[in-house]
Amino acid sequence: MKTKTATPNGSSRKRSAANGNSLAAQRQCVIDALRESPNGLTTIELREKFDVMMPAARVHELRWDYGFNIARTWDHDTNAQGNRHSVARYVLLPGKWRAGA
C-alpha cells in the first residue's frame, strides 16, 4: 500500500524528503518561487508558504554567491495570525547581481 506524505497546512513548498530543509534546498526553493512570482514575494510569504525561515539570508547567498539579481523593496504584509508587518519584498530581475547597482 502506498502512503501519502503530508505537508504543513498552506504550504506550497516543493522540497522532497530527500533534500529536506538544507540550505541548498531552501535556496532552490526561493529561486524557484521567485521565478514563478513576477510581483515577487514577501518575507512572510517565503516563511509561511515555502518554509524558509531566514529568507534574507537565502537571498543574500543567492545574490553574492550565485549572482542572481534579486531586488528588495519595502512593503506591508499580514501574517497567519493577522498581524500586519513591514517586510521586504524580493523580486527576481534579469541579469547578474552587481553590488551598489
pLDDT of 15: 52
Residue 38 belongs to a domain: yes
The model's pTM: 0.78
Judge whether 76 lies within some domain: yes
Q: Indicate whether 39 belongs to any domain.
A: yes
- Find the helix or strand (DSSP H, E) in which 73 lies: strand 68-78
Query: Does a structural domain hold residue 2?
Result: no
Q: Strand runs (DSSP E) across 1-46, as ranges? A: 41-42
Domain span at residue 81 reads 23-96
Alpha-carbon gap, residue 71 to 81, rounded angstroms = 27
Residues, the chain = 101
Residue 46 is predicted with a pLDDT of 97
Query: Rounded to an integer, what distance in angstroms lies between the CA atom of residue 99 and that of residue 86?
Result: 24
Q: Which pLDDT belongs to residue 101? A: 58
Identify the segments of the chain with pLDDT beneath 70.
1-19, 100-101
15 located within any domain: no
DSSP bridge pairs for 76 = 86
Please check whether residue 72 lies inside any domain of the structure.
Answer: yes
Q: Do 69 and 95 contact (CB within 8 A), yes or no?
A: yes
Structure confidence by residue, pLDDT tens digits, 31-52? 999 999 999 999 999 999 999 9
Does residue 56 fall inside a structural domain? yes
Report the CATH number that the domain containing residue 55 is assigned in CATH. 1.10.10
The domain tally of the chain equals 1
Q: Give the pLDDT score at 19.
A: 60
Is 11 within the bounds of a domain? no
Residues 6 and 76 sit within 8 Å (Cβ to Cβ) = no
